[in-house]
Amino acid sequence: MKTYLTLEKSISHKSNYDGCLYKSYVTSFFSYTKSHHTINDFYDEEGNVYIPEVYSFSEKKIDPDTNEIFVRVDVEFEDGFDMDFLLHKPLYFNEPEWFQDLTNEKINKIVCSYSDWDILDLLDNKTSNTTINISIFDDGMIQIEDIKENQDPVISTYQVNKNYIQQFFEAMKQNLGSETTYESRYVGGWSRSFTLYCDNRNVFKYEADYCADSKEESLTTNIVEELLKKCQITILFLEEVKYNTSYLDGSTYKTYITNFFSYTKARHKIQYLYDENDNVHSIELYEIIDRKVDPDTNELFVRADFEFEDDEDMDTFLHKPLYFKEPAWFQDLTNEEIVQLDCIFEQYEPVLGPLIERNNISICINGTVQVNDKIYNLSKPKIYDFFDEIRINLGSEKTYKPLLSGECSSRYTLHLKSGKVIKYSGDYALCDGTPYGCKRYTKFIVDDLLKQVYESD
């Protein structure tokens, strides 16, 4: 793809260095967007090459309809080459080697790699000075691999609505491979790369951030960030409007009935719904009106009747995707390995009475169990089984926080092999296919282990 221009006039200069005369040439307006910001060579119609040594912008304008940038430049050619014979004749330059036209490509996977960067802060409020590989698949799966030196990779997997993935792929095509794509001033090539895998087996790799607007607000990384914000979410739709009569004053108000959505992943507390523009819609009340359980995974799906705060009219969002985020306390422990669990159990007199008893318990992967000042030993296989159950209890898809979770009387600190330390307040349980969950709370699991400790002593 070529971009054409002409040399419109020559300007004579006197060198400040040695007093010699030399010429520079002012061009016509040409598309700076299509140049993608790196011009190495000019060609005439016969294919002869003319190398610009330096150039500066003398004028700029932006097409208000397309946002395309057009510039005039003052260019000096290598070795002081006299270009008078090419004045007002067409010249052109080629697109840079990194540019690929992605207009007709169908992407099925993108892998983003970041080094010494903290993109994971978007997901778990932690920074990472390592290498992060983010694989995004067209079926809605996002896999994030956290690689630290001399440690096994930590892999987290998320599932988002396929529509979000397709929107992301289209945004990346526009950002990396459209007529308006260009190299940003802050390319970040030292720390990031983006690899696109297409249906026709084409693979395109980019070693920096690019953008597609004159203000550089659509950097490639910004598009990835927007997608990652949709991780750890559950999608639902408002399927119908229900009209209700107030018992208080007889007025009519609306509630909205949803499709079936994962109540297991909701972890049983839904406060806000977000639309595709990330606007917040607050839920005042909701009632579960239907439920079903997946027989293979035991995951609970429900339909709910939502009433929104301040009687917000949600008719414009009927049949459009809305989502809610997982609660702040939830951490996916699927690929984590526990090496130590610290517990604090406190017992109080009823009705906000004084503290009666506090027990500090520490359970280690090497079989050591410390209860206050006493140290016991238990076989490693029993500790491994215990940690596996705790990992599922606190950090699986079926984990939820019961209403009466003992938040003031039970506290847990997980120490993971990956180096993470995660704290929990209260007891948790696994959804057993009812809105109330099973009764095997976290504390019951710890109590069962302590029974084995005392019996083996």
- DSSP assignment string, 233-256: EEEE-EEEEEEEE-TTT--EEEEE
Q: What is the three-class DSSP state of 109? A: strand
Three-state SS for 312-346 is CCCHHHECCCEEEECCCCCCCCCCCCEEEEEEEEE
Q: Beta strands 233-236 and 322-325: pairing type?
A: antiparallel
pTM of this prediction?
0.47
Residue 446 token pair: 């710890």
| Residues facing 154 on adjacent strands | 146
CA distances from residue 97 to 1, 39, 93, 404 in whole angstroms, order as listed: 11, 11, 12, 62
Residue 198 token pair: 């297409």
Are the C-beta atoms of 371 and 445 separated by less than 8 Å? Answer: no
Q: How far is CA 381 from the centre of its chain?
A: 37
Residue 340 token pair: 């130590």
Q: How far is CA 197 from the centre of its chain?
A: 19
Cα torsion 268, 271, 276, 277 to 10°: value is: -150
In angstroms, the CA 378 to CA 457 distance is 9
Spatial CB neighbours of 377, under 8 Å, sequence gap ≥ 6 = 367, 368, 369
In angstroms, the CA 448 to CA 431 distance is 20
User: CATH number of the domain at 338-456, out of 3.60.60, 2.60.120, 3.30.1560, 2.40.10?
Assistant: 3.30.1560
Spatial CB neighbours of 89, under 8 Å, sequence gap ≥ 6 = 6, 7, 44, 45
One digit per residue, the tens of pLDDT, for the chain of length 457 reads 678 889 999 988 888 878 788 889 999 998 877 666 667 788 898 889 888 888 888 888 888 887 778 889 898 888 888 888 989 999 988 777 777 888 889 999 999 988 754 444 444 444 445 678 889 999 888 888 877 767 777 676 676 778 889 999 999 998 888 777 777 654 444 578 899 999 999 999 988 777 776 556 678 888 887 787 666 667 788 999 999 998 889 899 999 999 988 888 777 778 899 887 778 999 999 999 998 887 876 778 899 999 999 999 999 999 887 888 778 788 888 888 999 999 999 887 665 567 778 899 999 999 999 999 999 999 999 999 999 999 999 988 788 887 655 556 889 999 999 888 999 988 888 887 776 667 788 999 999 999 999 988 7
CA atoms within 13 A on the CB side of 311: 8
